[in-house]
Homo-oligomer: A and B are copies of this chain.
Amino acid sequence: MKLQRHNAIRELLVGSRVTNQDELRRKLRRRGFAVTQATLSRDIHELRLYKGPGGYSLPSLNGHTPAAETGEDDGPPSMAEVMASFGLRVNHAMNQVIVRTVMGGAQPVAAALDHEEWPDVVGTVAGDDTVLVICPDSRRAGEVESRLKKILES
């Protein structure tokens, strides 16, 4: 339940402007999520959202890397979440890994992946439903692939 709501929030934020939590609450309600402001305050904290001029934004939308700031990252936090709801399948070819996602899911997945800053990931390119992950070489592409597959299946 919470997971779907979190993803709904992510999607809302990339699509529209949200200035405060009550506005977010109303928009979510229209999408079938009826929760209170208190819950959203907690969600916002968990999603590590930023608030600035123009309302709330995803960490990946403003280039912030919360992990780098807080210094500690307790395992794979959002990657598992995001993959669970968007990820479909994973393949690799040469030094590239292809992650197929549901429509519109590539962006969040790539953002989460960037956020994790895996040493074997040189960069990502996200379309609408496909993420292209570039690795240093073929071997490490294979490792990244299996790592993503494991996350996907967990």
Residues of chain A at the chain B interface (Cβ within 8 Å):
45, 48-54, 57, 59-64, 66, 69-70, 88, 91-96, 98, 100, 102-103, 107, 110, 114, 122-132, 134-137
Contacts and interface: CB of A to CB of B under 8 A. Distances in A.
A78 to B, nearest CB: 12
Contacts of A51: 50-52
B130 A61 contact: no
Q: Is the interface of A mostly helix, strand, loop or mixed?
A: mixed
A117 B53 CA distance: 18
Oligomeric state, in copies: 2
A77 to B, nearest CB: 12
A40 to B, nearest CB: 15
Nearest to A103: B61
B123 A91 contact: yes
A51, A60, A93 pick with most chain B CB within 10 angstroms: A93
A114, A123, A124 pick with most chain B CB within 10 angstroms: A123
